[in-house]
């Protein structure tokens, strides 16, 4: 809008306007090239984890699941027989129809709709939570495959969570409160803040919490009384 106004008022020429847009385009091209070069777009973990995606289950292969069986063998520790059963579960998972996913699960997992109102993006943790609880004759239908999928889903995709933790520490352990014990007070503050989604000014402690807090405070003051 500013450029259009400047052009209309004669503050800039058409050539200057084109030069500006050309520079913007070159900036985005350079940024895209940098991301393509430095981001792990061809990372083996990302490439082989696609079978977890419900929408891509039929375009994947068992080799992707085998990759994680081998990579995390110390965690999964599957026998030859269990790998064969995993293959059967994988094929069964691929053959599932869209109608096999209940409407309530689909609705709870949906995070994006297309222009026609059809779900195109899902929360895989909700879907695999459902698949992991499916049973056939009281036996888990996807016993090993769901375990493998959940292992993949908990892999951190960035260090954002750690950065949030560092940010909370910096906001609490300041130069004015530099003596907060890492293993006690600061650790307790971090535990409360990381496990609470309610803003502190909206938190209403129960009578039991208040009673326990008073008892702990009295014991702390007694122990540190000079």
Q: For the segment 9-48, what is each residue's pLDDT rounded down to a tens digit?
A: 999 999 999 999 999 999 999 999 999 888 887 889 889 9
Q: Which residue has the higher pLDDT, 135 or 120?
A: 135
Q: What is the pLDDT of residue 130?
A: 95
**Which among 116, 118, 140, 113 is positioned nearest to 129, based on CA atoms?**
140
Domain ranges of the chain: 2-38, 44-153, 158-199
Query: Across 29-38, 114-123, 153-162, which has the greatest mean pLDDT?
Result: 29-38
Q: Which residue has the higher pLDDT, 180 or 136?
A: 136
Confidence of residue 116 (pLDDT cuts 50, 70, 90): confident
H helix intervals, the chain? 2-8, 14-38, 44-48, 62-71, 73-76, 80-94, 103-109, 124-133, 143-153, 160-172, 185-194, 207-223
Confidence of residue 226 (pLDDT cuts 50, 70, 90): low
- What does the DSSP 8-state code read for residue 226? -
Question: How far from 22 is each of 12, 36, 140, CA to CA, in Å?
Answer: 15, 21, 59
**Side-chain-facing half-sphere of 24: CA atoms under 13 Å:** 6
Q: Are 113 and 134 in contact (CB under 8 A)?
A: no
């Amino acid at each position: 809008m500013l450029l259009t106004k400047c052009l209309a008022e004669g503050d800039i020429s058409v050539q200057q306007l084109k030069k500006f847009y050309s520079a913007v385009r070159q900036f985005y091209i350079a940024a895209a090239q940098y991301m393509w070069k430095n981001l792990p777009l061809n990372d083996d973990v990302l490439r082989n984890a696609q079978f977890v995606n419900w929408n891509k289950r039929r375009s994947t292969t068992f080799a992707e699941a085998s990759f994680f069986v081998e990579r995390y063998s110390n965690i999964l520790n599957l026998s030859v027989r269990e790998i064969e059963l995993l293959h059967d579960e994988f094929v069964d998972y691929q053959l599932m129809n869209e109608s096999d996913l209940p409407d309530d699960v689909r609705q709870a997992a949906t995070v994006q709709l297309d222009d026609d109102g059809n779900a195109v993006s899902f929360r895989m943790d909700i879907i695999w939570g459902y698949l992991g609880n499916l049973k056939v004759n009281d036996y888990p239908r996807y016993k090993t495959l769901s375990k493998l999928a959940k292992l993949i889903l908990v892999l951190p995709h960035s260090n954002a969570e750690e950065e949030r933790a560092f940010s909370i520490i910096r906001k609490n352990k300041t130069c004015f409160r530099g003596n907060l014990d890492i293993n006690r007070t600061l650790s307790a503050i971090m535990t409360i803040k990381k496990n609470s989604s309610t803003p502190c000014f909206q938190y209403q402690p129960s009578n039991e919490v208040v009673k326990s807090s008073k008892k702990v405070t009295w014991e702390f003051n007694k122990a540190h009384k000079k």
